[in-house]
Amino acid sequence: METLEPILKEHLFFKTLDSKYIKLITGCAQNARFKEGEFIFKEGQSADKFYLIREGKIALQIPCPARGAITIQTVSNNEVLGFSWLFPPYKWSFDAKVVEDVRVLEIDGKCLRKKCEGDHDLGYELQKRFAQMILERLQATRLQLLDLYETP
């Protein structure tokens, strides 16, 4: 039977991960599709999953009174959506709205957290990957805050 293992292995986020861990993560993964305009999650909801984007575009938004939804960032092919599943209190901080139809691998965060508790090497590998991603997004956000293109 065909599994999601090859797809998981091909995704940029897990490309160099040991195949024994790919197998473990595959046990928590399933395919999912979301249509343009759909919300994958909303601010304040339980963060029990994360998503490896295979195709499409998602906007991370925050609703703001009198201004509507403000998009903070977009994520697309080969990127990861969601890291709140890894840190207490496991709640989403933003809305994730589909901008272009998406295909994702949906990973069950609760299932994976249990596996990480049972195998700290797997936990460490995941923490390293997510820490790198969070660092990159923090740096990008800092540059965005500089408002570099505003009139000097």
Partner 1 sequence: MKTLDKKVILSSCQNPMTPIPFIIKNIYKDTHNIFTLETSLANHSNLSFLPGQFNMLYVFGAGEIPISISGNPQEKQSFTHTTRIVGAVTKALSKLKKGDMIGIRGPFGTYWPLNDAYGKDLVIVAGGIGLAPVRPIIYHILSERKKYGKISLLYGTRTPEDILYKDELKEWSPRINVFTTVDIADSKWKGDVGIVTKLISKVSFRPGNTVSMICGPEIMMRFTIQDLLNREMNEKNIFISMERNMKCAIGFCGHCQFGPEFICKNGPVMCYEKIKNIFGIREI
Provide the binding-site residues for partner 1, judged by CB under 8 A: 57, 59, 61, 67-74, 76-78, 97, 99-100, 140, 143-144, 146-152
The minimum distance between CB 108 and partner 1, in angstroms, equals: 27
Nearer to partner 1, 70 or 134 (CB): 70
Provide the 3-class DSSP secondary structure of residue 35.
coil
Which residue, 134, 93, 34, is CA-closest to 126? 134
Block residue for tokens 């790198």: 132
The minimum distance between CB 122 and partner 1, in angstroms, equals: 26
The DSSP letter of residue 59 is E
Contacts of the segment 66-70: beta carbons below 8 A, 24+ positions apart: 69/95, 69/97
Nearer to partner 1, 45 or 73 (CB): 73
Q: Say if CB 92 and CB 47 are below 8 A apart.
A: yes
Q: Say if CB 40 and CB 80 are below 8 A apart.
A: no
The minimum distance between CB 78 and partner 1, in angstroms, equals: 8
**Helix H segments across the chain?**
5-10, 19-26, 109-118, 120-145
Nearer to partner 1, 94 or 116 (CB): 94
The minimum distance between CB 95 and partner 1, in angstroms, equals: 10
Rg of the chain taking only CA atoms, in angstroms? 16
The minimum distance between CB 62 and partner 1, in angstroms, equals: 11
Nearer to partner 1, 134 or 143 (CB): 143
Nearer to partner 1, 1 or 149 (CB): 149
